[in-house]
Structure 1
Amino acid sequence: MSNILNIILAFLIVISFVFYLYFKTKQFRTTLPIHKKWYANRAGVSLGILLTLFGINQMIIYHTTLTYIVCMIMILFGVYASINYNKRVRHYGQYIAEEEELNKK
């Protein structure tokens, strides 16, 4: 059972890393300032999810006290980062359409 769960978590870790890279490249390629902040914070959400999933995966693989302590710190930081960046994404998301409207050519 843990082997299947480990494979699923590894797949989700790779997916979240791909989303992180995708949003970071979108951040660097856009010229609009609100879009840059929006993509940066979406990348932060992906990074928080990556940290959380990685911590859970390591807790499943290794069963030592030190691993549990370090992984709990990683999981807590990942959840905090995901929630914090998600709030920022929702905030900047309100201004995306307005910024596109102002910058039409």
Structure 2
Amino acid sequence: MTALKFLNILFVVLIVLSFVSYFYFKTKQFRTSLIAHKNWYKSKAGVSLAAFIILFGFNQALMFPDWITFLIAGLFVIIGAVLGVGSYRRVKHYGQFVEEEYELNKKK
């Protein structure tokens, strides 16, 4: 198996995993009633979506090595990185309140 084919298979597996995790966190977001948990799961879904966008851009650049593909793949990577950084910061922010909100609502 060539290195190019191995990388393609690896990217496809990672793309599928990030897509599945996106839907998992979106489902968790809709199923919870606690506000901090909703925002936390929404942010985690954003990180998964960013990973999907970045991996898709890299996979397209790998499969179709042309200058226009590199340009578009670069845009995907930049957009995914911006989305990922913002979502990761929100995950860290809301993560502080998740346990506290759970403890406050458990006592009721």
TM-score by length of 2: 0.95
Matches within 5 A, 1:1-105: 1-104=3-106, 105=108
Number of positions where the alignment pairs a residue of Structure 1 with one of Structure 2:
105
Measured in 2, the distance between the counterparts of 1:59 and 1:79 equals 16
- Per-residue CA deviation, residues 28-56 of structure 1 (Å, 9 max, x unaligned), is 00000110000000000000000000000
* Runs of 4+ that moved beyond 2 A: none
Structure 2 residue identity aligned to 1:88: R
Shift of 1:75: 0.4
Shift of 1:64: 1.4
**RMSD across aligned positions (CA):** 0.7
Measured in 1, the distance between the counterparts of 2:32 and 2:18 equals 21
Give the gaps of 5 or more residues in structure 2. none
Structure 2 residue identity aligned to 1:21: F
TM-score by length of 1: 0.97
Give the match's secondary structure for 2:47: helix
Give the gaps of 5 or more residues in structure 1. none
